[in-house]
Amino acid sequence: MINRSFYLTGGNERPYAVADLRGCIVKSGMVVAGESVDLMDLERGVYVLRVKGERPLRFGLIK
């Protein structure tokens, strides 16, 4: 099984947003250190993950 989630390793609760390459937010919420955020509902494509206080991360999903 492919890992389709992310989690924080430290810090307090922070907002996150996942955007497609057009800049449309496709998922957002709050994440707590050690808590996993499931990305299984995202379609195949390239996305940018932004978590407050962290560098943006570009990633791709294939199904």
pLDDT per residue rounded down to tens, the chain (63 residues): 456 888 888 778 999 999 999 999 999 999 988 888 988 899 999 999 999 989 999 999 886
> What pLDDT does residue 63 have?
67
> What pLDDT does residue 3 have?
67
> What pLDDT does residue 62 have?
83
The DSSP secondary structure of 6-32, one letter per residue, reads EE-SSSS-EEEEEEETTS-EEEEEEE-
Can you give the C-alpha Rg of the chain in angstroms? 11
From residue 1, give the alpha-carbon distance in Å to each of 40, 42, 63.
12, 16, 11
- Euclidean distance between CA atoms 20 and 5, whole angstroms: 16
> What pLDDT does residue 4 have?
82
* Full set of structural domains in the chain with CATH: 5-61 (2.60.40.10)
